[in-house]
Every structure is written in C-alpha cells, then in structure tokens.
Amino acid sequence: MERDPAVLKKVSVSLPFGLGSAEWEADQTERHAAWSLYVELVTRISVQPLGQEEGIFREALDSLYSLFETTREILKEAGPDVGASCNSVGGIAIAVLNQGLRPFLTKWHPSLEVWETQRPDGVSSKEHEKQWSEEPELRKDLEVLGKELNKYAQALAQVAGVEN
C-alpha cells in the first residue's frame, strides 16, 4: 500500500540528552529531513561502538563535529517547514547539536589536540592515543554519547516512517 506523502503523520518520540519526549504531526518535509539526518547519523562511527583496539579518537571526533555542518545543510535545504520548536525535526536537531554534541566536543576536542601535539616521532597516532591518561575516560564518554545518539537515530527513523 502506497503512502500519500502529503498526509501528516502523528509521531511520538523519546529524545536523547535529557530532552524528554515530543509529539506532533510530521509532514512530508519533516519526514524527508528526518530521513536525511538519520542516514548521516547511522553511517558514521558516532553511533557504532568503538572497540578497545579499533579506530582513532581524532577520526571519531572529526566525524561527530561534521554532524554540525551536515545538520545545518539539511535544515537549510528543508527550509522553515522543519520548524525550530521542541516538537519539530528542526528543533530537535538543533537541541541535539547544542545540548548533546557541543558539550562533548567542547570538552574533548581541545584535550585531544593538546595530547596530539605531544606525539613523538615514530609513534603512530593510535599508539599515542593508547598512552594518553585520559583515553579511558574519552572512550567511556564516547560510549555514553553513542547510546544517546542511537536514541536520536531511533527518533529520526520513527519520524521518517522507517523501522530502526
């Protein structure tokens, strides 16, 4: 059965980062923006667990940081119909960036940058990160952030009308 893209769809979602929940009727523009945000989010390391011997923190943080530009572009392209209230795709996306990602990146980007400048010649980035005293805390914070971003991805999937 084909869905009429012009029909409003009532959604009720649980939000990450202590943002509570939201309920509203999402239109085609919001569903399309939610899908675009969902695809960007779930195809990044940000929602995948970073195993003890996997990945490099710089790459993970850069991927997370790039969500700001990607989200801005998606929201600008979608226009004002995606909204800015807490009961809209636009408002939720902005809140996730400002209340979820920004505090994490503000804490970890500068700390990691300072550590990176101390890397001796001949030592790989990965090995140098493993020697960092703050490595376990960053790994733990990344795991917590990933769980919150998974909640966000689930909410986006629900708004987009896809199963997650």
* pTM of the full structure: 0.88
- Tens digit of pLDDT for each residue in 73-93? 999 999 999 988 889 999 999
Residue-level pLDDT at 8? 59
- Tens digit of pLDDT for each residue in 24-58? 989 999 999 999 999 999 988 767 776 667 778 99
| Mean of pLDDT over the chain | 90
Structure confidence at residue 117 as a pLDDT band (50, 70, 90): very high
Sequence-separated contacts (24+) of 49-55 with Cβ below 8 Å? 49/143, 49/146, 50/139, 50/142, 50/143, 50/146, 52/139
Q: How far apart are CA 145 and CA 103, in angstroms?
A: 11
Give the pair of three-digit tokens for residue 59.
């790459």
Phi and psi, residue 121, nearest 5°: -60, 140
Inform me whether the pLDDT recorded for 7 exceeds 60: no
Residue-level pLDDT at 88? 94
